[in-house]
Amino acid sequence: MNIDTIDFRHPEAPRRFDSSLRDTGFAVLVHHPLSPDLVGRVQDEWLAWFRTDHKFEYLPAPGAQEGYHPQSGAETAVGATIPDVKELFHWYPWGRHPDGLSDAVADLHRTATDLGTTLLGWLGDETPTHIAAQLSMPLAQMIEGSHRTLLRILHYPPLTGAEPPGSMRAAAHEDINLLTVLPAATRPGLQVLDTAGRWHDVPCDPGSVVINSGDMLASATGGYYPSTTHRVLLPDGDEALHSRVATPLFLHAADGVDLGGRTAFEFLRARLREIRGIDIEPSAPGAQPG
């Protein structure tokens, strides 16, 4: 599997990005506009925060996505039986912001969203006419007015040795959204599955950004851009002693966007029922979903 590493500044970057996403569902960007210093600041601040008990003050309301999700309530991937070994915070611009943290997370959400919007524009320009004709609107327009684009701050803690056999930091899954923008995590471990059933390491070079397509994009384009299965391995040896922090941004279509027969809201609602066993409500225009 050839996950292309692409210089964002190169004239051929849009074509190569499109090709890598079609072939593998993934691409890696370098020399992109997302500041590595900003990413590092967010990862450092939030790792320190996860090590405090203040996180329990931000537990989500019943059925809500926003806020702190502890290891005890970790999600279980569709088809898996063992919960992931992780804790996380779902950060939205309209949501709660833990006391004592800087605005760096808001800057990361904004700049990663801008990058994702540019990349959707690239795909829109590269998508062949017969695929574009199937879309309810241009890809970059699908996120306009969306309140569901989510920055997930993930903490995969050091292992205790008591993890159940077969545990994963993140079991094999596909993302729900249009595109995922993943600045390099603090440690390796991300793998992607090829069509022959083989797992491949995804590069985790400092300063790079991993991009992958999600189920919404696959649905909207009739599978032209595949949503590829991926996972985060449970580490061993010295790696097991270290935390891993990742900050993926999940770029979501607005609730009413048609994604090939289902609205984005219907799509998201069905998947969250599968993964988390929760139900969500549609948001009125201008409202902020819970």
Instruction: Please indicate whether residue 63 or residue 104 has the higher confidence score (pLDDT).
Output: 104
Whole-structure pTM value: 0.94
Q: Which domains does the chain have, with CATH numbers?
A: 5-276 (2.60.120.330)
207 torsion bin: left (phi>0), alpha (psi -120 to 50), beta (else):
left
- State how far the Cα of 290 lies from the Cα of 64, in Å rounded to an integer: 5
| Mean pLDDT, residues 115-121 | 98
Residue 288 has pLDDT above 70, yes or no: no
pLDDT tens per residue, range 171-229:
999 999 999 999 999 999 999 999 899 999 999 999 999 999 999 999 999 999 999 99
The predicted structure's pLDDT at residue 281: 72
For residue 213 the two structure tokens come to 């397509």
pLDDT tens per residue, range 169-179:
999 999 999 99
Q: How many Cβ atoms are within 10 Å of 72's Cβ, its own excluded? A: 7
The predicted structure's pLDDT at residue 276: 67
Instruction: Please indicate whether residue 234 or residue 73 has the higher confidence score (pLDDT).
Output: 234
Computed from CA positions of residues 99, 169, 44, 92, in that sequence, does the dihedral angle turn out positive or negative? negative
Residue 287 has pLDDT above 50, yes or no: no
Residue 158, judged by CB atoms within 10 A of its CB (0-12, 13-18, 19+), counts as exposed
Residue 132 has pLDDT above 60, yes or no: yes
The predicted structure's pLDDT at residue 284: 42
